[in-house]
Amino acid sequence: MAKVEIYYWTTCPFCRKALALLDEKGVDYEGYDITGDDEARAKMVERTGGPRTVPQIFIDDKHIGGCDDLHALDDKGELDPLLNA
């Protein structure tokens, strides 16, 4: 099973949508609640190479992107192979 990490805010509807998809698939993930935490957000931006929006998702340390990117991978049938790597 792949290592999945997600940076999120508790009040973000896109974050909840991304987390719901991961939960629906039964994925074990490491979640980083960066709500109001500027230091954690800076670390996220460093890892993403620039994007500051949430959520930001990594699979096996590869930056996947945000909620729309995660759902696009799923729609194309490319998410499950990444998660089961």
pLDDT digits (tens, 9 = 90+) for 22-35: 999 999 999 999 99
For the whole model, what pTM was predicted? 0.95
User: What is the DSSP secondary structure assignment for residue 53, as one 8-state letter?
Assistant: S
Alpha-carbon gap, residue 53 to 7, rounded angstroms: 9
Question: How deeply is 46 buried, as exposed, middle or buried, from its count of CB atoms within 10 A (0-12, 13-18, 19+)?
Answer: exposed
**What does the pLDDT read at residue 65?**
98
CATH classification at residue 42: 3.40.30.10
Q: Which domain covers residue 79, as residue numbers?
A: 4-83
The tokens of 74 are what? 């799923």
Edge-to-edge strand list for the sheet holding 62-65: 29-33, 4-8, 56-59, 62-65
**What domain count does the chain have?**
1
**Is 56 or 85 the better-scoring residue by pLDDT?**
56
